[in-house]
Amino acid sequence: MPTLQIIGIPQSTYVRTSRLTAHEKGAAYDLVVEMPHSPAVLSISPFGKVPVMRHGDVELYESKAINTYIDRAFDGPALIPADPAGAARVEQWVSAINTEMDPLMVRRYLFAYLFPKGEDGKPDRAAIDACLPDLDTQIGLLDTAFANSDYLAGDALTLADLTLVPIVHYLKGAPESGEKVAGAKHLSAWFDRMSERDSVNATVPPAA
């Protein structure tokens, strides 16, 4: 059987989710380190984003498609439930994370620290402050979701949890969001439980 290749940079939240998916399925894979928009990435994705995937003759871009393929192509516990309602709940959360939470938490808030655009190369304080009310709302939503469940989309680990882990990992390391996550007891307890999983420990991104 050909070796699964996950192609991208380990610092990417989306690359990490695909790696987490492979680990949870027990699927051996090679992490092929490539920057976004590199020729290797562009040969698979017309948008140049990571991750991209190769598995024999199968080449895919977009992390949700990649992760669904890994879940279905390899043995191991299902990360997307077979029943329609369960599958829809996973899809709902993955879509919410990708379309609502990632743009705010990662692209607006965290990137303001990682790629500072303020005066003298410092983070843009106004841009960060503008994110904080919405950050409160989204962290509160997640905290409520974990109030009565150990997992995000049901009573077992799913792709929804694996999509969220890399984002919360970074949120915990930033000033305001770190305090907000620490104050969200249900979200914090979920992340502590997830941090005990072999897959999470095996995919911790290198320090910047």
Question: Residues of the chain with pLDDT > 90: what percent?
Answer: 94
pTM for the predicted model, two decimal places: 0.96
Does 112 fall in a domain?
yes
Residue closest to 163 by CA, chosen among 174, 173, 155, 152:
152
| Residue type present at position 189 | A
Expressed as residue numbers, the domain containing 128 is 84-202
Does 61 fall in a domain?
yes
Sheet of 58-61, strands arranged across: 29-33, 4-8, 52-55, 58-61
Cis omega (within 30 of 0) on the bond before 175?
no
CA gap 54, 36 in Å, rounded: 16
Please say which residue of 47, 73, 99 terminates a domain: 73
Tell me the pairing of strands 58-61 and 52-55: antiparallel
Does 78 fall in a domain?
no
Does 36 fall in a domain?
yes
56/106 same-domain check: no
What are the angstrom distances between the C-alpha of 58 and each of 17, 33, 73, 129, 163?
Answer: 19, 19, 11, 44, 22
Q: What is the pLDDT of residue 166?
A: 98
Residue closest to 157 by CA, chosen among 47, 74, 79, 98:
79
56/94 same-domain check: no
Work out the average pLDDT over 122-147.
96
137/157 same-domain check: yes
Q: What is the pLDDT of residue 208?
A: 63
In DSSP terms, 29 is beta-bridged to 4
Q: What is the pLDDT of residue 121?
A: 83
Average pLDDT, the chain: 96
The residue whose two tokens read 């609502």 is 100
What SS3 state is found at 58?
A: strand
Q: What values do phi and psi take at 185, rounded to 5? A: -65, -35
100/192 same-domain check: yes
183/90 same-domain check: yes
CA gap 98, 181 in Å, rounded: 19
Of 83-87, 114-118, 191-195, where does mean pLDDT reach its minimum?
114-118
CA gap 198, 23 in Å, rounded: 8
Q: Name the domain count of the chain.
A: 2
Work out the average pLDDT over 53-65.
98
Query: In degrees to the nearest 10, what's the CA dihedral of 131, 135, 136, 138?
Result: 150
The string of pLDDT tens digits covering residues 10-56 is: 999 999 999 999 999 999 999 999 999 999 999 999 999 999 999 99
